[in-house]
Amino acid sequence: MTDDLVDALNTNELNDGEMKKVSVGGQELLIARVGDRFYCAQNRCPHLGGDLSRGTLEGTVITCPNHHSQFDLIDGHVVRWTSFSGFALTLAKSVKPPRSIVVHPTRIEGDKIFVGK
């Protein structure tokens, strides 16, 4: 363990553009690799709880498999709340206002990925 970070995964378990769901301290987290950088965030979409590890990753933007909400793994901000349009989007935003995902710090030491809880 390093500071308040915990060992979550080995770097060789993810290729560029891949992501994986891990459990750290009872929390379900997502770890993604983009080039030589690793990102960690909550694994459940704040819209309706979709499993983000089953979504798609383009650059640092992750898309939820359920309603296609998108979030940037760099800081967690909402890129798109849902793929709905018109009245459905207005309704979706009023029922569940857009919320960022929580991102967690990462550190690489040797072949280990350490993440904050």
The per-residue pLDDT for range 15-26, each reduced to its tens digit, is: 999 999 999 888
Strand runs (DSSP E) across the chain, as ranges? 5-10, 19-24, 27-34, 37-42, 56-58, 61-63, 70-72, 78-80, 103-104, 106-109, 112-116
pLDDT above 90: percentage of residues in the chain:
74
Q: Give the residue from 114, 117, 113 showing the smallest Cα distance to 102.
A: 117
Tell me the C-alpha distance between 32 and 45, whole Å.
Answer: 15
**How sure is the predictor about 1, in pLDDT bands with cuts at 50, 70 and 90?**
very low
Domain borders along the chain are 5-116
Considering the domain delimited by 5-116, tell me its CATH architecture.
3-layer Sandwich (2.102)
SS3 assignment, position 56: strand
The pTM for the full model equals: 0.90
Mean pLDDT of the chain: 92
